[in-house]
A and B are shown apart, each in its own frame.
Chain A
Amino acid sequence: MKDKRSYDNHLGIVGWLGGGRWGIERYLYTLHRVTGVGILLFFIIHIFESSLRILGRETWDAVMEVMTNPIFKAGEILVFAAFAFHALNGIRLIFIELGLAVGKAEDPIYPYRSSINTQRSLMIVTMILSALLMIAGGYDLIFLGH
């Protein structure tokens, strides 16, 4: 029964960011979503750009000319970084969601140790691998110009 009006206190998407007092896994959760949307956006633009070939050589050459703009180069680097993080963090989540890194149920004895502590080493390994992949990809894109 609702006799009086109540105040809607849902945090919405702002709740993803928290107030700086949350654990690192929460920020990985947010970053995973943001990079996922970023990669999807890239795919849409990429398919649109590739499909312009159908309009003939002149249009395609014009599009390629636009793509030499440094903004697109920076975007390419960002997309690769997003891919490196999203892929490695996704592998971590697959392990976790198959119950492989969260440990068995245990007696809650204070100070409590949770599954967050159990999966922490997996998180560190995947994030290091993700950083190495970003460095390798960044080096390739910036210095080797591929």
Chain B
Amino acid sequence: METENQQKRNIIFHIRRFDPELDEVPRWQKFTVSVEPGMTVLDGLHHIKETQDASLSWRYSCRMGVCGSCAMLINGIPTLACNTQIMDVTSQKLTLAALPNFDIIRDLVPDLTPMFRDHVSIQPYIQRDDNKEMENPTREFFQTHDELEEYLQFTYCIKCGCCAAACPTMAADRKYMGPMPLAQAYRYNKDSRDGGQKDRNDVITASHGVFSCHYAGECSNVCPKGVDPARAIQHMKKDLVLGYLRLRKDKKPCQVVGIPTGESKPAIAAPEHTVK
């Protein structure tokens, strides 16, 4: 018990607060929290809400880095509150603020609407002509492992908005689509089952689209899921340039796998026992 108390430490939370009914501009407020090893920033916020100020607001859901709701600026870096242990990032002072490059709704709650609007505009779903097969699937589509690997990394995106908050182009260009929607456009463009590249490319090659990215790389540095949007965006630029110069064939969506013939393949011999 004594060791536990020794490991505890008082940490001052500096939280940038904004109440739309009272404040013209955000204000900083200090809270002191007794932190023990293993406590996450999200735990600290809950502690403040339960014991010090019930009006403190933030967004959260899963508490385990899956939903992407609790993204905020923690000690100047956009990241997830549930994935960040307080003692890993500070020993005295912790600053928390809402994600920049979005409007603040209240306290630590950013308005992510523009990001999701751009996400919808890139049509983030598989598009094919064979509607009958899409609505009443009979068999799976044929996709090789290599084809899957081309886009799998970008499917792990949880749409938390950390990339947009870190992006310097987003900071100065309000109409820029941002790393998340662009990386997701690449994710679907690269999917061998998809045939919607043309519609998607019309959206992303417009002004404030993919060519507004100049590779500051910050989106990839801060992504809590290792999605690497900057990589997706550069590969998409390459594909667009090669397509424009007609050096790359248009991709046709893959077909469904063949009808099972009922014939069984020869059995693979089981390996010998290693222990006799």
Point out residues on A near B: beta carbons under 8 Å: 4-16, 18-19, 21-23, 25-26, 28-30, 32-33, 93, 96-100, 102-110, 112, 114-116, 118
Contact = CB atoms under 8 A, between A and B. Distances in A.
A22 B218 contact: yes
Contacts of A26: 168, 216-218
- Where chain B touches its partner, the secondary structure class is mixed
Interface of B: 18, 20-21, 23, 25-26, 75-77, 98-105, 110-111, 149-154, 156, 166, 168, 170-172, 174, 214-218, 220-221, 223, 225-228, 230-232, 234-235, 237-239, 241
Given A11-B171, A102-B231, A23 B217 contact: yes
A16 B172 contact: yes
A97 B215 contact: yes
A116 B154 contact: no
Contacts of B168: 15-16, 18, 26, 29-30
B217 A7 contact: no
B100 A25 contact: no
A6 B105 contact: yes
A104 B151 CA distance: 10
B103 A114 contact: no
Given A10-B101, A10-B174, A108-B156, A115 B217 contact: yes
Given A15-B100, A98-B238, A115 B20 contact: no
B238 A99 contact: yes
Given A29-B216, A105-B150, A114 B101 contact: no
A112 B223 contact: yes
Contacts of B227: 108
A30 B218 CA distance: 12
